[in-house]
Amino acid sequence: MRVAELWRYPVKSMAGERLPVAEIGRLGIFGDRVVRVEDARGRVITARTHPRLFAFKATLGPDGEPLVDGRPWTDPEIGRAVEAAVGPGARLARYDGPERFDVLPLLVATDGAL
């Protein structure tokens, strides 16, 4: 078997980053889905219902913290842009517990499955 591509998504439901190598632990790829978008009540918002989230690109910075479009995910301007894309009260929140994955912390897909 040959691995063709490795991807990490530091912010759930945003575009991610292709990796040349990946550190994998019991919770999958280091830095994967450690920030999510929540509504005003703290419920998770995903691109399934808000596809405009895919317009944002999330990467990990050199310090291991997520960046959104090249800026720290905590930057107020990024927060305003996410709220404008999703709706009033939407915000980015750190959430790096094991429940952050839809099914499993690591997905292996074959080209025949895509």
3-state secondary structure labels for all residues of 19-84: ECCCCEECCEECCCCCEEEECCCCCEECCCCCHHHHHCEEEECCCCCEEECCEECCCHHHHHHHHH
Residue 46 domain-assigned (yes or no): yes
Q: Which domain holds residue 38?
A: 6-98
Residue 1 domain-assigned (yes or no): no
Residue 113 domain-assigned (yes or no): no
Decide the pairing of beta strands 24-25 and 28-29: antiparallel
Residue 13: the pLDDT is 93
Q: In angstroms, rounded to a whole number, what is the distance separating the alpha carbons of residues 87 and 98?
A: 27
Residue 17 domain-assigned (yes or no): yes
Residue 111 domain-assigned (yes or no): no
| pLDDT tens, N- to C-terminus, the chain (114 residues) | 677 888 999 999 999 999 999 888 887 888 999 999 999 999 999 999 999 999 999 999 999 999 999 999 999 999 999 999 999 999 999 987 766 666 556 666 666 655
Residue 51 domain-assigned (yes or no): yes
Residue 28: the pLDDT is 81
Provide the number of structural domains found in the chain.
1
